Amino acid sequence: MTAIIDYDAGNIRSVEKALLSLGQEVVITGDAEKIESADKVILPGVGAFGDAMATLRARGLDQVIRRVVNKGTPFLGICLGLQLLFERSDEAPGVEGLGILKGEILRIPEQEGMKIPHMGWNSLHLENDGRLFRGIQDGAYVYFVHSYYLRAEDEKIVKASTDYCTHIHASVEQNNVFACQFHPEKSSDVGLAILRNFVEL
């Protein structure tokens, strides 16, 4: 059973649909017991860092996420779900993230001729042997929608990066915690292969 954490932050149904297409049993829930008993847990998200953290804390889901991670359950953050795993974001000065991983979320810098948010397909540079990317070719294209990007403190946890106005840490892995800035559920066959690698961990 894979639990998708429901905290009113978008793109949940598309994640569910992708997992169902892989033959997975899926539950969308904000219930602590169901999340903690799941074999895998996914934190999706589209929206604002500060609002999302406020909702997670108000519902006690920040502590649920920490317990799941500490227990060793495979955990995947997607888009905003990646950003929330880190310590802080330019989008919400003064708001603490979950701090499960070390690093900061920065505003994508303005560059002439480049639109922000970064929206569309970009190629990945694979590095450091990420388990999510088994069978994926270097240079594979995935779908992004974001105005903020990750700069991880420890580059050894970075498993994929891309370039758009700046160098972006696009996916990370540390022990049982995985995260993607891009949307695997919207990234066609490559994205489904990434999700399959996660659910087969």
Q: Could you list the active site residues?
A: 79, 183, 185
The CA distances from residue 125 to 50, 101, 142, 156, in Å, are: 30, 21, 11, 14
The CA-to-CA distance between both ends of the chain, in Å, stands at 13
Cβ-proximal residues to 157 (8 Å cutoff; 6+ apart), any chain = 101, 128, 172, 173, 174
Coil, strand or helix at 188: helix
Euclidean distance between CA atoms 24 and 108, whole angstroms: 35
Q: How would DSSP label each residue in 43-70?
A: E---S-HHHHHHHHHHTTHHHHHHHHHH
The CA distances from residue 65 to 28, 56, 75, 170, in Å, are: 15, 9, 9, 21
Coil, strand or helix at 16: helix
As given in the structure block, the two tokens for residue 115 are 């639109």
